[in-house]
Amino acid sequence: MPGPRLEGLARRLTAIVAEWYEDARLSEPQVQEYAIGKANAALLVIEKFRDLFPLTRDRYASRGGTNVAGMSGAQGRRIIQRHFPEARSIGTEAGRTSRGTLPSAERLAERLNAVEGIHHLTPEERGALADKMQAWIVEAVIKPYQQRLKLEPDLDPRLTSVTNVAAILDAARARNQTGAVAQHLVGAKLALRFQDQAIWNYSYSTADLQLNRPGDFKLGDTVFHVTVTPSQQLFQKCASNLQQHFRVVVLVPADRVAAGVQLAELAGIAARVSVSAIETFVGTNVEEIAEFDQGRIAADLRRLLEKYNERVVAVEPDRSLLIEIPRNLGAS
């Protein structure tokens, strides 16, 4: 943003948005930390600020005059992703409104309209200011909010455990977290199955080379590699594992097993490397621990998720990797 004049306006406007948001948040007694609906409304009002000024009510209110125009999680996400490309859906809460949403948006518009020096700016200059205000909302509200949202897969103990593990991976895939979730699910399965052994637990972002690890996990003389995207490089590492006299297991999502087998064949090690589905590897273990007893499967699926959460908390700063354990799995 060129020029001290615009920089000064940007600082003033972001301060106004910050003050407005705190007032808006405190005006809702039920909101303890993040007023996501009102933050989303602010993103939409500020979007209008780019091309239309001053911000009169008819320019940002819906046709019926009862809400902010375009109020939805999808619309807010499009704006958020300009500043936070990896942002996940901000969910239905972002589109949820109360009687106070439109009046709150009006108060923001009034505060912005009262700032001198904006009327004569070009749309490009207002757009730069809008970027600064929206970036503040993303950094101060949206990112922290998403950091505390747990995964909420649709689990049903009446279904097979393989199906439930697939549901967990599907929920992770929707938030671009499949790799980390898969790694910690496998770690939780191994920790439950082999309770007398120390199962490695490292952050997903920790590279094997940093710790001189042969893979993601090692049990006895077997190395486990967990990946959602099997590659030639991975199977080159598997070949190196074999040269070091390890047995090798590669775990991938079910729809990547065929690709993994093909890569193992290309590397000339297909007969010596086991390529299996993560869903089957983890899900079958739940059934085995429950001794294939329908009445125990829900409890043991819950134990898996509790162990998973325990391991995630121990090594991951991103709490959005945690899994919300549904009530239909019983009490701990």
The string of pLDDT tens digits covering residues 43-68 is: 999 999 998 899 999 888 887 777 88
List pLDDT tens digits, range 265-314: 999 999 999 999 999 999 998 888 777 777 788 888 999 999 999 999 99
Helix (H, G, I), strand (E, B) or coil at 267: coil
Residue 199 lies in a domain: yes
Whether 210 and 324 share a structural domain: yes
Q: What is the pLDDT of residues 197-211, one digit of tens each?
A: 999 999 887 754 456
Q: Are residues 228 and 306 in the same domain?
A: yes
Q: Is the domain of 85 the same as that of 217?
A: no
Domain that holds residue 46: 4-148
Alpha-carbon 106 to chain mean position: 32
Q: Is the pTM of this model over 0.75?
A: no
Domain count of the fold of the chain: 2
